[in-house]
Homo-oligomer: A and B are copies of this chain.
Amino acid sequence: MTETIKVGVLGALGKVGSEVCRAVEQAPDTELVARIDAGDDLGGLVGSGAEAVVDFTHPDVVMDNLEFCVRHGIHAVVGTTGFDAARLDTLRGWLADSPTTGVLVAPNFSIGALLMMRFAAEAARWFESAEVVELHHPDKADAPSGTARRTAELIAAARRDAGLGPAPDATSTALEGARGADVDGIRVHGLRIRGMVAHQEVVLGGLGETLTIRHDSMDRASFTPGVLAGLRAIADHPGLTVGLDHFLGLD
């Protein structure tokens, strides 16, 4: 890969994609060579000389996009959702035929969110209690958020590994829903508040002390440093990587 990375953006007209375009243009070591959106011909990517793409498109089209890129040896940094085990297997198959190409599929490009999850998992074994609170704008469709569910799963796994049982809870009389949702035994609470963007708090507690790890995402732009970090590292990680944390030295 040359010193300046030539980047194509798929979904370039979307909210996230246009932020990505701006970030790629502004960073000193990336160059935006193609903006592709629905209806555009992927063939333009090849002509543009793109070495890597960023894909924030739609579950319906992302697999076609990736098949094209892998066949043409173009690396991909993917934020589109909807990847299950079958899709990841398909990707691995394509990549087997193109051994120097890298694809990063990441559910979350916010470095702050990744650190929050990592620290929550590391701290979990030291505390009797752990719960997750997420706060989002009221236009969000799912509750709890995907990040909150994932965080709870990581905490639950860390507790199991450390031999911790269920967190103490003497509740005997409760209104329905008062103790939140149960994700692998970890309680998760979702607030929907106008004015908020995307926020999460992990609360851990033991004898006489609590530890709280909070991430506040105030602006869509918070995803872009993670996308750039992905672009900078992708050529050195051929094959499939799931999760940006593997590129951040957090594992």
Binding site for B on A (CB under 8 A): 110-113, 115-116, 119, 122-123, 126-129, 131, 133, 135, 138-144, 149, 167-183, 187-197, 203-225, 248
Contacts and interface: CB of A to CB of B under 8 A. Distances in A.
Contact of A216 (B210, B221, B222): B210
Contacts of A221: 207-208
A138 B189 CA distance: 16
Nearest to A248: B126
Interface majority SS (helix, strand, loop, mixed), chain A: mixed
Q: How many copies does the complex hold?
A: 4
Given A210-B216, A218-B208, A189 B180 contact: yes
B195 A143 contact: no
B188 A193 contact: no
A245 to B, nearest CB: 12
A147 to B, nearest CB: 12
